[in-house]
Structure 1
Amino acid sequence: AEHAKNIGKGNLDINAFIYKALAATLDDSLTADDLVALTLKTGEYGVKVMALLDEANTSRFGNPEITEVNIGVRKNPAILISGHDLIDLEQLLDQTKGTGVDVYTHSEMLPAHYYPAFKKYDNFAGNYGNAWWKQLDEFVSFHGPILFTTNCIVPPRSEEVRGRIFTTGSTGYPGCKHIMADKNGKKDFSEIIALAKTLPAPDEIETGSIVGGFAHNQVIALADKVVDAVKSGAIKKFFVMAGCDGRMKSREYYTEFAEKLPKDTVILTAGCAKYRYNKLKLGDIGGIPRVLDAGQCNDSYSLAVIALKLKEVFGLDDINKLPIVYNIAWYEQKAVIVLLALLSLGVKNIHLGPTLPGFLSPNVAKVLVEKFGIAGIGTADSDIELFMAQ
């Protein structure tokens, strides 16, 4: 909602619901059924707010399109931008234009490359690094300043790196310079640009490119091709693997799962969970890549739109009759609102991992299992066998 507001799109109904939901947490008269209903209502508003942000982003920057993104580096000094706020990126690109300073995306900012509006900037060089938790090493090798527009700062190990981190918007960190907007929403990034010019170009940590841009508008444009592939049996199942990544070893499950999936399956993803498999050579099915990246975690809305469109195209009366399996990686609240959004749309039998959230008490977990078929994960091999048999 905050990001949408930054682009000039607001919704007072969403704001009012936030207050109502917070007030409900203080109401001890509510029963378990009341709270389940409120949780589903929260998911309903999750869909509304993701739709609002989708409208805000696409009305300003265009609809995401299939795009090849460079993951190597160039020889120029550079700034790394992390987070989710595309308005901050737009202002940074405007201010770095013609300065000799390149701009690279990091982690959740990767999908910015898919928007047509950003392709006019010659200094928009590519994506550097991986998911948020690898930043301790990647920020050292990047050499240039880093601008955080939203969450996922890991406390830096050295003062040298801390001195290169700038924050803006709702994020901040002790000892890092915070850049405020003026009354018109404009931000002055000149200090970051000046610092970048004094620092070396990034070290190359990988080469090549990755492909993304499969938000709902792009996938629906390919609908005939996708439907034909399903009807012919070329595509047996879709796996929605949206959500978050993290440093725990148990998250290697998602890489193994993607590698071992049968060749007639397609992964639909959004959020930084994608970094567990978006650089694997998984090939394509009749020209359709086997990993379709819709974008940031909030772009999970696109995955819901795609599912609803497929339900319509196949003439089904229930979204759960589609050949789609939901295997969601959660880490924090954004992945949970994605889960609630899916529940509000009637999706059942979602698998959540690598562990169930700590705030799911035994009683709450029992309700979710009974009403919605929520389950955890096992091993990659056993889960694939289970899912392919469904």
Structure 2
Amino acid sequence: MPTDMSRRTLVRSLAGAGVLAFGLTACNDLDGLDPEATALPTQSGGTGSGPRRFGAEWDKHLRTVMSWPASETVWGDQLPDVRRDVAGLAQAISAREPVVMMARPEQKDAAQKACGSAVEVVPIAVDDLWARDTLPVFVEEGGKVKGVDFNFNGWGGKQQRGNDAKVARTVLAKYGVERIETRLVAEGGSFETDGLGTLMVTESSVVNDNRNPGMSRDQVEAELKRVLGVTKVIWLAGVKGKDITDAHVDCLTRFAAPGVVLLDQAFPGTPADVWSRSADQARSVFKTATDARGRKLEVVELQQPDPDKITGRGDAFVSSYMNFYIGDKGVYLPKFGDARADDRAQQILKQYFPTREIVPVKIDAIAAGGGGIHCATHDIPALG
């Protein structure tokens, strides 16, 4: 596990000018839905194009961006294994859509060799692999894509971030993408959207003095609505102080489609802990919650693998299937080694993404650091 802190316990080229014209489209998996049900809500609650939109991950991508893990201080002797996993994930995604890998200039050649020629490696100084959290959160406004810089501070000052704290601003400036400023400190893994105005957030990761001291939940919600263009925020309690992220939503619950959420479920017989209680709390919220269109949410539980059958180990190991990534032509989810559970998770995702290939990827070293596939990837929306 990383030597300074894991993500599960505290005692543990972007295409130049093309970036300027990103747009968003619905994925083929949503074809046939009621047009009224999928129309975009404006910030005032009506129906229309909306002044600003935070798109769903299943919308069309221009490319996927990743980050080459750089720091021995963070990973220690696990760094080679983590790099192997990151390279393997990049290769899997690049077989189906363009992938850009950010790497320190002095590590660019090694990253290129590891990832292969299908991955474009660009020299941008980074510290760690968690591109989901260090890059801007991209939104559409006025026919262009803009980037919200959420002022990454190392998950509340828990990890070194000399380079990662500058990644969002560096990427936006380098490629001429307009930067949307906010006083909020947050990370991309904090949020989950249906692309239609609904946002799910864990309160523990945002309404927290290590990111946003003195801000109430209402103040945070108002700012999230402003910068992301969402109209409905569903708050989940999460867990403070037990992992480096303070319990990001993307290890707990994800949208599978408008009105449908997948929810992490512990393996049967596993003793209750803060994580299973967090899932129970989310389930209770979903019983009465509605999305931005007023629909009640369908909840589909995605059970974790048998801890005695998984191939990965470590106190920080994340065995949740929730941390999957929806690409243009594939859905990438972890393969933990429990064949029955792995297959069940793949079949559930196939139901909701029938036009995409379901691609299981072995990521034991990444998962041992307390993260997953979604944490290691960041989607850039595409025009048309």
TM-score, length of structure 1 as denominator length: 0.24
- Compare CA radii of gyration and give the structure with the larger one: 1
Higher relative contact order (Cα pairs below 8 Å, separated by 6+ residues): 2
Greater fraction of residues in strand = 2
